């Protein structure tokens, strides 16, 4: 008798330390209650999150596979074996939505190759929430990940994104390591033309949430303290 493969559930998590069910739908709780197999970026924080969502769930019953930059391809290729044996698996993001600015996309690709059903669950995406609140073009946009660290390369990249934004009427979205946020904002205000709009969205969904869109000229005159606060940056030249 052929075994019916399990399902790969893509499980979003909080963007901060607020109570999970303040920002996540009850469907997340129901799925986590049913699953014992998970693919996670950090075992300790994953266990803590699962316990916060479902306190009664047995922690010893959890089977967690770690997916990070140290995971080998051979290891990764075994992570969906439980699905092939009829068990469903949860792909759990460290923050926000799995496979979006997150290493989980390789697992999702593998699931499709293995004809395993993939089910994305509803949850917060800092990228989309920032774009929604920015006032910029939600019908034409590009997510660029991290910009170069090298000063000269970063300046060239910012100018290129500004040019593309103007030519294609696109919002250009990117992220930065939280401790370099202030330097990023400084580089943007120095490099962009004065009337180019910049949206800074940090601490999204948290009590300290801050989202503002102003021109590069206006940002020079009034800067928010963004140090060590998870942030999304968006630029658009009209």
Task: Identify whether the C-beta of residue 118 lies closer than 8 Å to the C-beta of residue 39.
Answer: no
Two tokens at 136?
């910029």
Grouping H, G, I as helix, E, B as strand and the rest as coil, residue 21 is helix
The tens-digit pLDDT sequence of the chain (238 residues) is 678 999 999 999 999 988 998 999 999 999 999 999 999 999 999 999 999 999 999 999 999 999 998 999 999 999 999 999 999 999 999 999 999 988 899 999 999 999 999 999 999 999 999 999 999 999 999 999 999 999 999 999 999 999 999 999 999 999 999 999 999 999 999 999 999 999 999 999 999 999 999 999 999 987 789 999 999 999 999 8
What does pTM read for this prediction?
A: 0.91
Pairwise CA distance, residues 75 & 35, whole Å:
21
CA 130 to chain centroid, in Å, comes to: 11
| H or E element, residue 63 | strand 63-66
Number of neighbouring beta carbons within 10 Å of residue 102 = 17
């Amino acid at each position: 008798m052929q075994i019916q493969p399990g399902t790969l559930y893509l499980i979003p998590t909080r963007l901060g330390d607020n109570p999970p069910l303040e920002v996540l739908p009850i469907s997340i709780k129901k799925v986590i209650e049913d699953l014992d197999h998970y693919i996670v970026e950090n075992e300790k924080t994953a266990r803590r999150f699962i316990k916060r969502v479902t306190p009664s769930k047995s922690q010893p019953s959890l089977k967690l596979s770690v997916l990070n930059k140290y995971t080998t391809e051979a290891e990764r290729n075994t992570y969906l074996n439980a699905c092939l044996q009829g068990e469903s698996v949860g792909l759990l993001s460290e923050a926000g939505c799995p496979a979006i600015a997150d290493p989980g996309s390789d697992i999702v690709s593998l699931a499709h190759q293995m004809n395993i059903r993939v089910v994305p669950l509803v949850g917060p995406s800092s990228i989309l929430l920032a774009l929604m609140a920015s006032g910029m073009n939600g019908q034409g946009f590009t997510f660029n990940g991290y910009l170069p660290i090298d000063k000269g390369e970063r300046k060239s990249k910012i100018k290129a994104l500004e040019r593309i934004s103007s030519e294609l009427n696109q919002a250009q979205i990117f992220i930065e390591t939280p401790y370099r946020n202030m330097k990023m904002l400084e580089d943007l205000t120095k490099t962009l033309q004065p009337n180019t709009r910049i949206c800074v969205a940090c601490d999204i969904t948290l009590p300290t949430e801050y989202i503002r869109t102003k021109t590069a000229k206006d940002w020079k005159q009034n800067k928010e303290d963004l140090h060590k606060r998870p942030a999304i940056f968006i630029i658009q030249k009209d």
